[in-house]
């Protein structure tokens, strides 16, 4: 069975594929908006990569020490309590819905430039994003599936667009005449370097997300104690280099001041290098990649809800399938509805971004901290060839501290977002105990 295990190259490419998403085409502008100067900006992107490295190593060891099907819920129920596992899993679902909404807004911002030839209003972008969710909700409801080949083609398109942005660095004639000037907005006046760094890191954290899925590969890698740390190190290093090069391209081509003020920045770079036709083609391809992401999340997240329903942590109705198409009708409908509700109430990318990352801060910090309990409970596995971090507990401590810092930055900037996130966590914990009590009562009356 050794041949079925992932080798170093396979695992490295998986790490790269898990992290590189659509965020880099939009979050750079949001990160720059809160950066006092280019030093803060590039420091945030470098720090984000190091945080991702610590997180990926932590989750990989969690997966090595407790390799179960069902992922997050069972690991955290084992390390903590089922109520905490339920809350974390629900937070991850809501966060995924918010991520889908945010990425759909990125795509709508770019495609609206093609149709309207000017930046669209927040309402227009939200309506386009909502339409995309509804269309792919219908596609999934009919039982249609985007093939793996199509997903691969769209991944190639995404990587090609990133390489095109980096390639612009080799065209000096496209460089901005003023790259280092920065605008200090009204909301940034009077803030310190560390506050600016924290606010800039919020958008960066969103862009580096995805490494937590290494939890699912702890027992799937050949020679895990050797290949997991190397694969994660090589993968995250590749991502850091790509992201820094893309950001340096933005910086050199349009200048830092414009980077702070614009939104659909990748189109501006494409326009300066390839002209209007090239910019429109870039926007169209980017929108296609966004649709692929929307489709993937609408396919995968209802299955998480189905698994939670099978475990008895969500009502049995979430297991309901259509007989003809084998589609999880209720789970799919609820998840799509959550995405649309988030789009309706938030509308702007920044609001959804802060909400998503604040929820992630809870989920990431709590889930990463489970390694401290797992280490104690699985001491018998030490020396058996599983992956163990060499500098432990440095990596999880850095990772958890970083996410606490980001959560504080969000709470200071947008207190209502933080309160909403805390309320969501409290509601899900309450739902767990109410559902548990009703199950116990139902069993007792039978």
Structural domain contains residue 445: no
Q: What is the pLDDT of residue 149?
A: 63
What 3-state DSSP class applies to 6?
strand
* Interatomic CA distance for residues 110 and 286, integer angstroms: 8
Residue 384: name the closest of 178, 182, 219, 144 by CA: 219
Question: Are the CB atoms for 343 and 130 separated by under 8 Å?
Answer: yes
C-alpha dihedral, 41 to 43 to 49 to 55, nearest 10° = -110
Question: Are the CB atoms for 232 and 387 separated by under 8 Å?
Answer: no
Residue with tokens 């006092």: 36
Quote the domain boundaries for residue 267.
8-174+191-437
Residue 32: name the closest of 169, 185, 159 by CA: 185
Q: What are phi and psi of 221, to 5 degrees?
A: -105, 135
Question: Are the CB atoms for 193 and 36 separated by under 8 Å?
Answer: yes
Structural domain contains residue 179: no
* Interatomic CA distance for residues 399 and 394, integer angstroms: 9
Q: What is the pLDDT of residue 70?
A: 53
* Interatomic CA distance for residues 62 and 56, integer angstroms: 10
What does each C-alpha distance from 92 to 53, 95, 135, 305, 308 come to in angstroms?
Answer: 20, 5, 24, 11, 13
End-to-end CA distance of the chain: 47
Structural domain contains residue 62: yes
Q: What is the pLDDT of residue 446?
A: 44
Structural domain contains residue 180: no
Question: Are the CB atoms for 218 and 64 separated by under 8 Å?
Answer: yes
* Interatomic CA distance for residues 7 and 234, integer angstroms: 13
Q: What is the pLDDT of residue 178?
A: 61
Structural domain contains residue 444: no
Rama region for 19: left / alpha / beta (φ>0; ψ in -120 to 50; rest): alpha
88 has which bridge partners? none
Angle at 231 between CA 225 and CA 237, to 5 degrees: 135
The 3 state secondary structure assigned to 333-354 is HHHHHHHHHHHHHHCCHHHHHH
Question: Are the CB atoms for 361 and 406 separated by under 8 Å?
Answer: yes
Residue 128: name the closest of 151, 148, 105, 95 by CA: 105
* Interatomic CA distance for residues 15 and 42, integer angstroms: 22
Structural domain contains residue 359: yes
* Interatomic CA distance for residues 182 and 42, integer angstroms: 13
* Interatomic CA distance for residues 198 and 193, integer angstroms: 9
What 3-state DSSP class applies to 221?
strand
Task: Give the chain's domain count.
Answer: 1
Q: What is the pLDDT of residue 10?
A: 84
Q: How distant is the alpha carbon of residue 61 from its chain centre?
A: 20
Q: What are phi and psi of 169, to 5 degrees?
A: -65, -20
Residue 401 belongs to a domain with what CATH number?
1.20.1740.10
Helix (H) or strand (E) holding 293: helix 265-310
Structural domain contains residue 186: no
Q: Which two tokens stand for residue 52?
A: 């991702």
What number of residues does the chain have? 446
Residuewise pLDDT in 10s, the chain (446 residues): 445 677 888 888 888 877 887 889 889 999 999 998 899 999 999 999 999 999 989 988 888 888 765 556 677 778 887 777 788 788 888 888 888 899 899 889 889 888 887 777 888 888 999 999 998 888 888 876 655 566 677 778 888 888 888 988 888 877 776 666 656 566 667 789 999 999 999 999 999 988 777 776 666 788 877 888 888 889 899 999 999 999 999 998 888 888 888 888 888 888 888 888 888 888 888 888 888 788 878 887 888 788 778 777 777 888 888 777 778 888 899 999 999 998 888 768 888 889 889 988 988 898 899 999 989 988 888 888 888 898 899 999 999 999 999 999 999 988 998 898 888 888 877 877 777 676 666 555 54
Structural domain contains residue 99: yes
Q: Which pTM value belongs to this model?
A: 0.84
Q: What is the pLDDT of residue 372?
A: 93
Q: What is the pLDDT of residue 1?
A: 42
* Interatomic CA distance for residues 112 and 104, integer angstroms: 12
Q: Helix 265-310 vs helix 82-116: angle between axes, to the nearest 10 degrees?
A: 150
Sign of CA dihedral 303, 308, 310, 314: negative
């Amino acid at each position: 069975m050794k041949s079925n295990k992932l080798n170093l190259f396979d695992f490295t490419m998986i790490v790269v594929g898990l992290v590189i998403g659509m965020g880099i085409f939009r979050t750079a502008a949001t990160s720059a908006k809160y950066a006092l100067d280019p030093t803060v900006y590039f420091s945030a992107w470098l720090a984000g990569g190091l945080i991702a490295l610590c997180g990926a190593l932590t989750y990989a060891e969690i997966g090595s020490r407790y390799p179960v099907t069902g992922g997050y819920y069972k690991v955290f129920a084992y390390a903590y309590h089922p109520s905490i596992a339920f809350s974390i899993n629900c937070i991850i679902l809501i966060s995924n819905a918010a991520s889908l909404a945010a990425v759909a807004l990125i795509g709508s911002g770019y495609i609206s430039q093609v149709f309207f030839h000017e930046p669209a209003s927040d309402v227009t972008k939200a309506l386009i994003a909502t339409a995309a969710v509804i269309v792919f909700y219908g596609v999934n409801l009919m039982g249609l599936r985007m093939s793996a080949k199509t997903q691969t083609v769209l991944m190639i398109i995404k990587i090609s667009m990133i390489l095109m942005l980096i390639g612009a660095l080799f065209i000096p004639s496209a460089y901005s005449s003023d790259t280092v000037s920065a605008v200090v907005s009204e909301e940034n006046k009077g803030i310190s370097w560390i506050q600016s760094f924290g606010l800039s890191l919020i958008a960066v954290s969103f862009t580096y997300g995805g490494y937590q899925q290494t939890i699912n590969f702890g027992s799937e890698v050949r020679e895990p104690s050797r290949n997991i740390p190397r694969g994660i190190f090589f993968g995250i290093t590749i991502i850091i280099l790509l992201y820094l090069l893309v950001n340096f391209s933005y910086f050199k081509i349009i200048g830092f001041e414009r980077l702070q003020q614009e939104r659909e920045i990748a189109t501006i770079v494409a326009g300066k290098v390839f002209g209007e036709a090239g910019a429109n083609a870039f926007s169209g391809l980017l929108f296609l990649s966004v649709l692929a992401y929307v489709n993937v999340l609408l396919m995968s997240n209802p299955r998480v809800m189905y698994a939670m329903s099978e475990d008895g942590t969500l009502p049995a109705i979430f297991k309901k399938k259509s007989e003809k198409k084998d589609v999880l009708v209720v789970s799919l409908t609820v998840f799509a509805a959550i995405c649309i509700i988030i789009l309706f109430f938030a509308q702007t990318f920044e609001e959804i971004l802060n909400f998503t990352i604040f929820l992630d801060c809870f989920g990431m910090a709590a889930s990463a901290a489970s390694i401290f309990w797992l280490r104690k409970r699985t001491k018998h596995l030490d020396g058996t060839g599983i992956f163990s971090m060499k500098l432990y507990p440095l990596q999880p401590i850095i990772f958890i501290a970083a996410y606490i810092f980001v959560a504080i930055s969000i709470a200071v900037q947008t207190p209502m977002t933080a309160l909403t996130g805390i309320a969501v966590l409290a509601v899900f914990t309450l739902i767990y105990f109410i559902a548990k009590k009703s199950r116990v009562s139902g069993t007792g009356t039978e």
